[in-house]
Structure 1
Amino acid sequence: MPILLVQIALVIILVRAAFQTIRHFQISQPNWLEVIFQISVGIVSLWLLLGID
């Protein structure tokens, strides 16, 4: 049960990071530090979700 909850949380984090990245690119002058941060959060959550060692 806890593993399933963590996986659901990681999927939510990944989706939110992707959504925020897309929103930042729709702005005429995006905050590049925020874009890079959201991309890195998405990469880390995907890495943990897939269990890549």
Structure 2
Amino acid sequence: MDGVSEKMLSQTPRALDRDGLVVRDARPGNPPHVEYRLTPLGAEASTRSSP
């Protein structure tokens, strides 16, 4: 993504996980695969922040 650093791409999802807005699901493999999904709290926050 243009204008977004690798550091930001890794830190932001982890912060959202820490704050309970997403759940991180890491799966082993080569390369490793990580998926994130919204928690109910994250879905509510997303709805409230949408115009």
Q: Which has the higher contact order (CA 8 A, sep 6+)?
A: 1
Normalising by the residue count of structure 2, what TM-score does the alignment of the two structures yield?
0.32
Normalised by the length of structure 1, the TM-score is 0.31
Bigger strand share:
2
The structure in which a higher percent of residues are helix is: 1
